[in-house]
Amino acid sequence: MQTGKVAVVTGAGSGIGKATALALVADGWQVVLAGRRAQPLDAVGQLAQERHQAADRVLAVPTDVTDAAAVQQLFARAVARFGRVDLLFNNAGRGNPAGSFLDWSAADWQDVVNTNLNGMFYCLQQACRVMRDQSPQGGRIINNGSISAHTPRPNSAAYTATKHAVMGLTKTAALDGRAWNIAVGQIDVGNAVTDLAAPMATGVPQANGEIAVEPMIDVATVAQSVLYMANLPLEANVLFHTVMATRMPFVGRG
């Protein structure tokens, strides 16, 4: 079990972020919960207390990752409370706008880019600054990519474009982070049971035009994958990790 290590988890109020934050707490980490709304973060903190008597190891910081100043304050509060940051799970994100991309407004497109790419960069930048300057130097960053970082779904231009961009961000940060003992990797998740992926259970468009129900995996399985990556020694890095429902239509999609 880890002791004394500090993690920042964005998008921690629900889904993969919530499951991962609780898995980290269970493993002995001190965890900073970031998300737009205070109430879900407080609920996660309450669960951490009920399950692990860990109120002193959890800090909730409502944060809009699209606001660079708010992200800077998030990391400042993490350091003020726990002294350092050993892990960023860069998880906050949103799905694709509804309807055909032909009908999206500029704001529809920008909302996805602002969260999935700009917010990801702001958090990575601040984490790297903290990890560079702390002693002992270094840490780990795990970006939440997606199966769509590799292969698109129909009518997913905004989500897919941002997730492809996250892959580029992961690669360049993994390269640049070497100078400060920062390991950067990416987890690509296929069909975990979350609110974002809920439509998979009722049927989603396939490349051939059909609507099909897709297999799902428990979000706790994803959390354990993140925990595995997080607990590696800094001299080792999982650059890309894909965890998915075994029978989901990914390999051979299209």
- Single-letter residue type at 238: V
pLDDT bin (cut points 50, 70, 90) of residue 251 is confident
C-alpha 59/C-alpha 135 separation (Å) is 22
pLDDT (tens digit, 9 = 90+) per residue, 99-158?
999 999 999 999 999 999 999 999 999 999 999 999 999 999 999 999 999 998 888 999
Residues 38, 224, 162, 197, CA torsion sign: negative
Candidate list 159, 177, 219, 250, residue with the active-site label? 159
- Concerning whether 228 is annotated as a catalytic residue, the answer is no
Residue 253 has pLDDT above 60, yes or no: yes
| Candidate CATH numbers 3.30.1180.10, 3.30.420.310, 3.40.1010.10, 3.40.50.720; the one for domain 6-244 | 3.40.50.720
pLDDT (tens digit, 9 = 90+) per residue, 171-197?
999 999 999 999 999 999 988 888 777
Look at the chain and count its residues.
Answer: 254
Q: Can you tell me the mean pLDDT for 1-18?
A: 88
Q: Starting at the edge strand that comes first in sequence, how are the strands of the sheet with 182-190 ordered?
A: 58-62, 30-35, 6-10, 87-90, 139-144, 182-190, 240-244
> Helix, strand or coil for residue 224?
helix
Residue 2 has pLDDT above 50, yes or no: no
Provide the residue ranges of all domains of the chain, joining segments of one domain with +. Answer: 6-244
